[in-house]
């Protein structure tokens, strides 16, 4: 982020969403909105910078450190810039039983990156995640809200090619 | 065909919509409860049903409801635990995605029983698409007068809020979930006080699993006594089993508690047997944290009796020769699976997911992962096996929440039943680190 803190702001539609989220909780319990609001922030900026965290703290009327400790505790919030598509690949046992490790190796070779890295064209970021609660349909990865299941090398090729267009 | 309570209508086209769900008899239980019963009578039916917590702990739901404190003028909360994250478990994901109104109907009935006017469904953040399905269903139910102010003209008000998590297994622990719902890190709380006395916002709170709550419409329509006639002994009703691993037909199955493990594993109605050309090596019956069983203890207990899919039969023999039903995450391993590698994998999971509050768990899970990593990668020593057992014992029972136990049990049980496989990794590092190498006892490598 190059913007200065006071330039960080939700779009009007997202600000409405945030207000609606805050209104879900009892009076004085607006901190409950923190996790959902951070998801909205990530939707807008792709990741959650410290400027964004400060901004969210202001909206919820809580201290910035209360946002930092939450954003760094949960694994879904990206604390660094990411590519257009973040591939969140399940590395847990049941997926591995279904050949998840081999498919993962293929995916890494295909993208030419290791977990935590982004492809040079900025299209893909690879992230290893733990169990996605889809073990019967493994191997599995997720890109945003979409689950890609019963993965094979061929399927991975198709998905990557499709998303590269 | 076995009786279905939760999944009877799950394949009806359009069942995710209010209209279709309603046509299949949906929301009649809400009408019955709110119009003809008192909250106490609803609680009584839950107690009679004997339904036990389906998230893994197996604590009777009606009894849990009975503990809820009811001080005057203090709001009470019901929170549904939809943070399903236990490796091998994906039943709640399936249920909410396919038939969201079932959970919503259950939430209305349960909230009414507990006197809650604002209830939450805490869904793991990774399932954002399921959250959108639930929110749509809630809007439909509200438009039809089943949620919001003055439900069905009864004077009872209820708002349902769907809360996303942020990616943390620990939030499946009920007090960590409440912390998270308050917008904090998911650190489990010291107990007492229990949530029934001081839970969400320091108010009396009940936390129940998705599947547990989803049983309530049937229980109200048919009676708790009828529910209790299904199943065996204290394992009443049906259970959703998430079946994964080396089987013909992975998926989510609803069983009547009491079906044999043999039937569940091999019949075409369920898993359809181990995948073709392979044979059974091991089973994790209730999600990654329960003890792993070797082939000879899966379909029969140590005493030679048929092993049944019940809380009691699966734990027959204690941890020496038994396991637990847990969350119903049924992970099947055939002879190509390496137990050491899988144990290392699970260990890495628990290390990654430890919240870091209690030293035995924060440090111990990391040590176990490290030691298992070196055994799996050909750098282990014989001392490491005893070291793992020692660490697991020092974690178990020494932490605020059960994550410590959950991390210790898979390691301790893998060594208990597959010690020779660990020894082989240490004595044959060259062979053991070949890609796909698996210990086959006296036989050759696969």
Q: Please answer yes or no on whether A136 and B242 come within 8 Å at the CB atom.
A: yes
pLDDT digits (tens, 9 = 90+) for B61-113: 999 999 999 999 999 999 999 999 999 999 999 999 999 999 999 999 999 99
Q: Is A46 helix (H, G, I), strand (E, B) or coil?
A: coil
B-chain residues near A39 (CB < 8 A): 125, 128, 164, 166
Q: Is B246 on the interface with A (CB under 8 A)?
A: yes
Averaged confidence pLDDT in chain B: 96
pLDDT at B318: 95
Length of chain B in residues, anyone?
Answer: 446
Give me the residue from B89, B118, B245 closest to A133, CB to CB: B89
Share of chain B above pLDDT 90, in %: 97
In chain A, which residues have their Cβ closer than 8 Å to the Cβ of B79? none
Closest partner residue to A93 (CB to CB) among B87, B128, B132 is: B87
Beta bridge partners of A146: A143
Percent of chain B with pLDDT over 70: 99
Residue A7: pLDDT band (50, 70, 90) is confident
Reported as a single tens digit per residue, the pLDDT across B14-48 is: 999 999 999 999 999 999 999 999 999 999 999 99
Q: What is the mean pLDDT of residues A81-105?
A: 97
What are the tens digits of pLDDT across the range B108-139?
Answer: 999 999 999 999 999 999 999 999 999 999 99
Q: Residue B364: what pLDDT?
A: 98
Residue B307 contacts by C-beta under 8 Å, 6 or more apart in sequence? Answer: B260, B261, B262, B297, B298, B299, B300, B301, B313, B314, B316
Average pLDDT over residues B142-151: 98
B172 interaction partners in chain A (CB closer than 8 Å): none
A72 to chain B, closest Cα gap in Å? 9
Task: Determine the average pLDDT of the residues in B203-212.
Answer: 98
pLDDT of residue B293: 97
Quick check: helix, strand or coil at residue A126? strand
Among B329, B331, B333, B172, CA closest to B241: B329
Q: How far apart are CA B300 and CA B262, in angstroms?
A: 9
Q: Is A73 a residue whose pLDDT tops 80?
A: yes
Query: Is the pLDDT score of B442 beyond 80?
Result: no
Largest CA distance in chain B: 74
What average pLDDT score do residues B340-353 get? 98
pLDDT, position A3: 47
Quote the pTM value: 0.96
Residue B445, pLDDT above cutoff 50: no
User: Mean pLDDT across the stretch B342-371?
Assistant: 98
Q: A137 CA to chain B: closest CA distance, Å? A: 7
Q: Do B168 and A36 touch (CB under 8 A)?
A: no
- The nearest alpha carbon in chain A to B182 belongs to A32
Interface of A with B in 57-116 (CB under 8 A): 60, 62, 66, 69-70, 73-77, 88, 91-94, 96-98
CA distance B60 to chain A (A): 25
Does the model's ipTM exceed the 0.85 cut? Answer: yes
- Comparing CB atoms, the residue among A96, A135, A142 nearest residue B90 is A135
Smallest Cα distance from B130 to chain A, Å? 9
Q: What confidence score (pLDDT) does residue A6 get? A: 56
CA distance B207 to B187: 16
- Phi first, then psi: give them for residue B166, nearest 5 degrees: -125, 10
A12-51 residue pLDDT tens: 999 999 999 999 999 999 999 999 999 999 999 999 999 9
Q: Write out chain B in H/E/C secondary structure.
A: CCCCCCCCCCCCCCCCCHHHHHHCCCCHHHHHHHHHCCHHHHHHHHHHHCCECCCCCCCEHHHHHHCCCCCCCCCCEEEEEECCCCCCCCHHHHHHHHCHHHHHHHHHHHHHHHCCCEEEEEECHHHHHHHHHHHHHHHHHHHCCCCECCHHHCCCCEEEEEEECCCCHHHHCHHHHHHHHCCCCCCCCCCCCCCCCCCHHHCCEEEEEHHHHHCHHHHHHHCHHHHHCCEECCEECEEEEEEEECECCCEEEEEECCCEHHHHHHCCCCCCCECCCCCEEEEECCCCCCCCEEHHHCCECCCCCECECCHHHHCCCHHHHCCCCCCCEEEEEECCCCHHHHHHHHHHHHHHHCCCCCHHHHHHHHHHHHHHHHHHCCCCCHHHHHHHHHHHHHHCCCCCCCHHHHHHHHHHHHHHHHHHHHHHHHHCHHHHCCCCCCCCCCCCCC
| B314-373 residues touching A, CB cutoff 8 A | 329, 331, 333, 337, 341-342, 345-346, 348-349, 352-353, 355
Would you call A94 and B88 a contact, using CB atoms and an 8 Å cutoff? yes
Mean pLDDT, residues A79-94 taken together:
98
Interface contact flag, B201 A31, Cβ < 8 Å: no
Does the CB of A133 have a partner CB in chain B at under 8 Å?
yes
Of B129, B166, B348, the CB nearest to A74: B166
- Determine the pLDDT at residue B402: 96
Estimate to the nearest angstrom the gap between the alpha carbon of A20 and the chain centroid. Answer: 22
pLDDT score, position B1? 62
Q: Compute the average pLDDT of residues B397-411.
A: 97
From B124, B183, B341, residue closest to A34, measured CB to CB: B183
pLDDT of residue B440: 83
């Amino acid at each position: 982020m190059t913007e200065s803190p006071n330039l960080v702001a939700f779009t009007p539609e997202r600000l409405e969403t945030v207000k609606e989220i805050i209104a879900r909780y009892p009076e004085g319990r607006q901190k409950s909105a923190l996790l959902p609001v951070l998801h909205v922030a990530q939707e807008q900026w792709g990741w959650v910078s410290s400027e964004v965290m400060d901004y969210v703290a202001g909206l919820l009327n809580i201290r910035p450190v209360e946002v930092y400790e939450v954003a760094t505790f949960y694994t879904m919030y990206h604390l660094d810039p990411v590519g257009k598509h973040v591939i969140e690949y399940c590395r847990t046992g049941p997926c591995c039983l279904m050949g998840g490790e081999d498919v993962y190796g293929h995916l890494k070779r295909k993208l030419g990156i290791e977990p935590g890295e982004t492809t040079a064209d900025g299209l893909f970021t690879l992230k290893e995640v733990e169990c996605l609660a889809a073990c019967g349909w493994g191997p599995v990865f997720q890109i945003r809200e979409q689950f890609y299941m019963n993965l094979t090398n061929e399927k991975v090729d198709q998905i990557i090619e499709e998303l590269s267009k | 065909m076995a009786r279905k309570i939760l999944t009877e209508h799950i394949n009806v086209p359009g069942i995710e919509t209010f209209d279709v769900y309603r046509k299949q008899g949906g929301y009649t239980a809400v009408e019955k409860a709110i119009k003809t019963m008192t909250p106490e009578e609803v609680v009584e039916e839950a107690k009679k049903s004997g339904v036990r917590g389906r998230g893994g702990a197996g604590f009777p739901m009606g009894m849990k409801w009975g503990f809820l404190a009811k001080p005057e003028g203090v709001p009470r909360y019901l929170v549904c635990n939809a943070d399903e994250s236990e490796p091998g478990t994906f039943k709640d994901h399936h249920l909410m995605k396919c038939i969201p109104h079932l959970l919503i109907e259950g939430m209305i009935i349960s909230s009414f029983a507990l006197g809650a006017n604002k209830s939450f469904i805490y869904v793991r953040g990774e399932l954002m698409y399921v959250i959108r399905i639930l929110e749509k269903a809630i809007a439909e139910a509200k438009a039809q007068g089943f949620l919001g102010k003055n439900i069905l003209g009864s004077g009872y008000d209820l708002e349902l809020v769907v809360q996303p998590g942020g990616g943390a297994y620990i939030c499946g622990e009920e007090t960590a979930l409440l912390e998270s719902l308050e917008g904090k890190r998911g650190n489990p709380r010291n107990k007492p006080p229990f949530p029934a006395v001081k839970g969400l916002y320091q108010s009396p709170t009940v936390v129940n699993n998705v599947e547990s709550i989803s049983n309530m419409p049937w229980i109200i329509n048919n009676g708790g006594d009828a529910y209790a006639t299904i199943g065996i002994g204290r394992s009443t009703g049906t259970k959703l089993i998430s079946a994964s691993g080396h089987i013909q037909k992975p998926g989510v199955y609803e069983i009547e508690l009491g079906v044999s493990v043999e039937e569940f594993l091999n019949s075409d109605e369920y898993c359809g047997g181990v995948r073709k050309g392979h044979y059974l090596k091991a089973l994790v019956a209730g999600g990654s944290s329960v003890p792993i069983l070797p082939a000879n203890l899966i379909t029969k207990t140590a005493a030679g009796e048929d092993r049944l899919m019940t809380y009691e039969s699966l734990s027959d023999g204690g941890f020496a020769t038994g396991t637990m039903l847990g969350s119903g995450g049924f992970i099947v391993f055939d002879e190509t699976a390496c137990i050491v590698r899988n144990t290392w994998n699970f260990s890495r999971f628990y290390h990654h997911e430890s919240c870091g509050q209690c030293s035995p768990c924060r440090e111990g899970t990391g040590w176990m992962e490290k030691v298992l990593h070196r055994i799996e990668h050909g750098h282990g020593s014989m001392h490491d096996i005893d070291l793992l057992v020692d660490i697991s014992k020092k974690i178990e029972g020494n932490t605020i929440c059960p994550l410590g136990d959950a991390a210790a049990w898979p390691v301790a049980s893998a060594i208990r039943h597959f010690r020779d496989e660990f020894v082989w990794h240490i004595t044959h590092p060259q062979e053991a680190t070949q890609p796909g190498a698996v210990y086959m006892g006296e036989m050759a490598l696969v």
